[in-house]
Amino acid sequence: MVTKIAVFASGSGSNFEAIAEAITRGELDAQIELVVTDKPGAFVVTRAQKFNIPVLEIAPKMFATKADYEAAVVEALREKDVKWVVLAGYMRLVSDTLLAAYHNRIVNIHPSLLPSFPGKDAIGQAMEHGVKVTGVTVHYVDAGMDTGKIIAQGAIGVVEGDRESTEQQIHELEHKLYTQTLKQLFEV
């Protein structure tokens, strides 16, 4: 049975595209019902259009409260019968309204070996600390920042003094690990 998902992204959407391509190739038995972005005009919109996937461009500042914003998002997800929420570069903390609607069915990918270097610029944090190994973590989302239960991790060696090469390796690992992990979650 095909799993209906929504992918949330705030920026370029390279992880979204990797997931969409894996679905197209038949590697992931899922259907992206909706792309949700909190940044209208983000490049993920262009990527979604390439796959003919509907997009909800919804700026939080249009709402009086975060709960109101999330309620509008949940309504859109329910209209599409979405079963899983996949965060892929979504730069907002998720709160009670969305967490309650999709309890244990929201996952995120983070560019570090959590619990090390949570939050923004994890790659920069890792390089600043001089670590030799970093990586990627797929985890369930809870109310904290990158604090949910870890599902899968993969490691790469840091290219000392070369953030661009390190980021490229991180992105390659993200695209592979996220698809593999989603496949395992959806097959249960």
Q: Domain extents for the chain? A: 3-187
Q: Is 110 a catalytic residue?
A: yes
- Kindly report, residue by residue over 85-137, the tens digit of the pLDDT: 999 999 999 999 999 999 999 999 999 999 999 999 999 999 999 999 999 99
- Kindly report, residue by residue over 66-76, the tens digit of the pLDDT: 999 999 999 99
pLDDT at residue 161 in the model: 86
Give the integer Cα–Cα distance in Å for 86 and 112: 18
Catalytic residue among 110, 139, 171, 175: 110
pLDDT at residue 188 in the model: 74
Question: Which H/E stretch holds residue 181?
Answer: helix 163-187
Burial of 175 (0-12, 13-18, 19+ CB in 10 A): buried
- Kindly report, residue by residue over 137-149, the tens digit of the pLDDT: 999 999 999 999 9
Is residue 136 classed as helix, strand or coil in its secondary structure? Answer: strand
User: What contacts 188, CB < 8 A, 6 or more positions away?
Assistant: none
User: What contacts 146, CB < 8 A, 6 or more positions away?
Assistant: 108, 110, 114, 115, 118, 119, 137, 139
- Averaged pLDDT, 144-173: 95
Are 135 and 110 a contacting pair, CB within 8 Å? no
Range 3-187: architecture per CATH: 3-Layer(aba) Sandwich (3.40)
pTM of the shown model = 0.95
User: What contacts 129, CB < 8 A, 6 or more positions away?
Assistant: 117
Distance of CA 136 to the CA centre of its chain: 12
